[in-house]
């Protein structure tokens, strides 16, 4: 006989019927709980929410299934049931099994029948409640523990208080915290066990999957977010980027600060992204993270049913807004999507989910291979330190794909190479234009430009402004690359090849002015222009014979080519801007320019 008092006394829902024995009811009850055998009528309720239309049985042969020969019932309103154990049944040695079929009704959502089958268990000696929580108790009993040991371990596993009573009807008692944990555990059982006959291994796998979410579910005011996290952890997924990759890079923009570090708070694996936004940064300041050319990651296999990205976030405060943007690294005219999610923890890691299928008008059509992260998105920056790790795509059936690679330059007997197509535009470490570490920068009139965007990316040096339609003092702006030495020789060249990008509003409308400044005199230069035909960085070729030479001793291209080139300028002049589509920022009109790789004279 067991001496643990929690194992000695049957529950009040167990009514024993004895025949042919001259023993008192109290003694018989004690003997039954000790395994003496007998028959018994078991009554109780089956619940996650109350489950109507489920099959419940006494699993006499311990195969975790309801066989035809076993006492069976169908649950009614409030999940109520009654089953009778055969004479001689040792109720302390068997379990109740509940088979919840597709179409059963969870009275938490009575108008929506269940679409996933799952199974639950409970020790037959404690029949008042059969729930996802008692399933964990049965799992531990099947693994060799006594009832009281199993209950204690289940409380620890699920983040329940030390005095939680598994026989308590948590719905009737309005114990919403326990109810939330049951909802979370039911989600795991539906995913990990489903309609299969659950053996001990399956049950332990389900428990392992649920344990990280028990305490959060118990503490949650809205358990739906915890259930989403649970579902995300169970779904097929792959790591987009964990920042420990050799090719991992980060490009901060609009005043944010970002770097890859190896000393992130405990819980990070390998390197992590350290990110902050001071009060002087733009509201949309952040960082683009990438693994390849043009700030790309592998293409995300978005679908209407799989459009979620998870990210580990360590925040200095609760309620900070984290933004995540996905877009096409090679085509800025394609629709991009942004999502904002608030942090719920301070000084601790948490998993944050960004489900793009929730975005109004979302379409998975297109290529999405660029990711940007915004700390304190559209909030005033506090300078607080955020850490990001393990960006994953959730629900992917596809394998992780490779990021973009730099295009290979066509065979060319180039005369002067600034950058070939296969070389990046900018070295984010040194702050110089590649490959010769040339000085680069930008300039503008500073005559009332309303707002500016841009950054020095690996694939382009970018700048753009919102211009007033009426303030003609805003003449335009430019981007330059300086040789820094004696200059580039173009004496035998016939063509100038370069690559430029712009914003979608400018495509087909705006022009870029090209300026070649001689090493002899800053006034001696050659100019030409080109219409911008693509928003993504696009290659252009301009014949040197199309340039106009001014300010030189002899203003001909033949004479100019004998001089070395000290500076390359790319300008957008007011006369060549678009003033048709404004950017909804105080009525100003966006006009942007990006200078990419592939700058050669041939």
Specify whether 252 is located in the same domain as 269. yes
At residue 30, the pLDDT reads: 34
At residue 421, the pLDDT reads: 45
Number of folded domains in the chain? 3
Top pLDDT among 439 and 34 is at 439
What CATH number is associated with residue 458?
A: 2.60.120.260
Are 594 and 502 in contact by the 8 Å Cβ rule? The answer is yes
The answer as to whether 381 is a domain residue is: yes
Asked which of 70-79, 508-517, 590-599 is least confident by mean pLDDT, the reply is 590-599
pLDDT of 35 strictly over 50: no
For residue 407, name the pLDDT band (cuts at 50, 70, 90). low
The answer as to whether 402 is a domain residue is: no
Q: What is the mean pLDDT of the chain?
A: 84
Specify whether 25 is located in the same domain as 166. yes
Specify whether 135 is located in the same domain as 164. yes
At residue 243, the pLDDT reads: 94
At residue 599, the pLDDT reads: 82
pLDDT of 19 strictly over 50: no
In angstroms, the CA 202 to CA 189 distance is: 9
Burial per residue of 450-465, b for 16 or more beta-carbon CB atoms within 10 angstroms, e otherwise: beebbbbbbbbbbbbb
In angstroms, the CA 432 to CA 252 distance is: 16
- Tokens linked to 464: 């753009």
Is 25 buried (19+), middle (13-18) or exposed (0-12) by CB count in 10 A? exposed
Taking Cα atoms as reference points, which of 95, 172, 164, 106 lies closest to residue 133?
164
Domain extent for 159: 5-234
At residue 429, the pLDDT reads: 55
At residue 22, the pLDDT reads: 35
The answer as to whether 506 is a domain residue is: yes
Burial per residue of 77-99, b for 16 or more beta-carbon CB atoms within 10 angstroms, e otherwise: ebbebbbbbeeebbbbebbbbbb
pLDDT in tens, 192-232: 888 888 888 889 888 888 888 888 888 888 778 778 777 77
Specify whether 348 is located in the same domain as 426. no
pLDDT in tens, 346-402: 999 988 889 898 899 999 999 999 999 999 999 888 989 999 999 988 876 556 678
Average pLDDT over residues 175-202: 90
Where do we find the tokens 């042919």? 20
At residue 414, the pLDDT reads: 41
Specify whether 263 is located in the same domain as 167. no
Dmax (CA) for the chain in angstroms is 128
In angstroms, the CA 422 to CA 402 distance is: 17
- Where does a domain end: 202, 234, 266? 234
In angstroms, the CA 482 to CA 330 distance is: 27
Specify whether 60 is located in the same domain as 182. yes
pLDDT in tens, 305-361: 788 898 999 999 999 999 999 999 888 778 999 999 999 889 999 888 898 988 999
pLDDT of 286 strictly over 50: yes
Specify whether 450 is located in the same domain as 578. yes
Average pLDDT over residues 248-272: 91
pLDDT of 437 strictly over 80: no
For residue 445, name the pLDDT band (cuts at 50, 70, 90). low
At residue 557, the pLDDT reads: 95
For residue 469, name the pLDDT band (cuts at 50, 70, 90). confident
Specify whether 424 is located in the same domain as 504. yes
At residue 584, the pLDDT reads: 58
Specify whether 314 is located in the same domain as 258. yes
- Percentage of residues in the chain having pLDDT higher than 90: 50
At residue 26, the pLDDT reads: 35
The answer as to whether 225 is a domain residue is: yes
Cα of first residue to Cα of last residue in the chain, in angstroms, is 95
What CATH number is associated with residue 299?
A: 2.60.120.200
The answer as to whether 400 is a domain residue is: no
């Amino acid at each position: 006989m067991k001496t643990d008092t929690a194992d000695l006394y049957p529950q009040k829902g167990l009514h024993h019927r004895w025949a042919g024995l001259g023993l008192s009811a109290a003694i018989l009850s004690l003997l039954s709980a000790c395994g003496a055998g007998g028959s018994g009528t078991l009554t109780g309720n089956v619940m996650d929410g109350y489950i109507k239309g489920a099959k419940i049985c006494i699993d006499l042969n311990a195969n975790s299934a309801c066989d035809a020969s076993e006492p069976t019932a169908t649950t009614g309103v409030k999940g109520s049931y009654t089953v009778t154990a055969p004479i001689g049944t040792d109720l302390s040695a068997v379990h109740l099994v509940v088979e919840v079929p597709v179409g059963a009704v969870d009275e938490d959502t009575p108008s929506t029948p269940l679409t996933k089958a799952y199974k639950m268990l409970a020790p037959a000696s404690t029949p008042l409640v059969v729930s996802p929580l008692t399933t964990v108790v049965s799992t531990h009993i099947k693994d060799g523990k006594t009832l009281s040991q199993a209950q204690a371990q289940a409380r620890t596993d699920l983040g329940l208080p030390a005095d939680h009573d598994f026989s308590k009807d948590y719905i009737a008692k309005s114990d919403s915290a326990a109810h939330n944990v049951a909802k979370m555990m039911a989600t795991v059982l539906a995913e990990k066990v489903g309609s299969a006959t659950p053996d001990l291994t399956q049950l332990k796998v389900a428990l392992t999957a649920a344990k990280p979410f028990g305490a959060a579910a118990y503490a949650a005011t809205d358990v739906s977010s915890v259930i989403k996290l649970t579902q995300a952890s169970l779904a097929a997924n792959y790591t987009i980027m964990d920042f420990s990759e050799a090719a991992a890079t980060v490009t901060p923009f609009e005043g944010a600060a970002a770097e890859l570090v190896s000393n992130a708070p405990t819980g990070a694996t390998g390197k992590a992204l350290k990110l902050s936004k001071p009060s002087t940064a733009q509201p949309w300041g952040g960082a683009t993270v990438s693994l390849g050319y043009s700030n790309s990651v592998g293409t995300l296999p978005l679908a209407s049913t799989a459009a979620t990205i998870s990210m580990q976030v360590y925040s200095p405060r609760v309620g900070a807004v984290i933004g995540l943007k996905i877009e096409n690294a090679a085509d800025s005219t394609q629709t991009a999507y942004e999502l904002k999610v608030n942090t719920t923890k301070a000084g601790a890691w948490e998993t944050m989910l960004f489900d793009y299928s929730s975005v109004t008008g979302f379409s998975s059509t297109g290529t999405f291979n660029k990711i940007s992260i915004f700390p304190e998105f559209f909030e005033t920056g506090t300078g607080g330190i955020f850490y990001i790790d393990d960006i994953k795509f959730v629900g992917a059936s596809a394998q992780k794909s490779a990021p973009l690679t730099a295009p290979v330059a066509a065979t060319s007997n180039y005369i002067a190479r600034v950058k070939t197509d296969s070389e990046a535009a900018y070295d984010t470490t040194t702050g110089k234009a590649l490959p010769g570490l040339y000085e680069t920068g930008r300039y503008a009139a500073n005559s009332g430009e309303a707002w500016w965007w841009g950054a020095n990316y690996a694939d382009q040096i970018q700048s753009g402004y919102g211009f007033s339609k009426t303030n003609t003092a805003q003449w335009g702006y430019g981007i330059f690359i300086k040789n820094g030495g004696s200059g580039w020789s173009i004496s035998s060249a016939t063509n100038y090849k370069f690559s430029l990008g712009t914003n979608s509003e400018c495509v087909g409308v705006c022009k870029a002015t090209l300026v070649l400044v001689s090493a002899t005199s800053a006034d001696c230069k050659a100019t030409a222009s080109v219409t911008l035909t693509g928003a993504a960085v696009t290659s252009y070729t301009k014949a040197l014979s199309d340039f106009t030479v001014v300010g030189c001793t002899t203003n001909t291209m033949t004479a100019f080519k004998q001089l070395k080139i000290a500076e390359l300028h790319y300008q957008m002049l007011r006369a060549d801007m678009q003033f048709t589509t404004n950017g909804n920022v105080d009525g100003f009109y966006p006009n942007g320019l990006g200078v990419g790789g592939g700058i050669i004279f041939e």
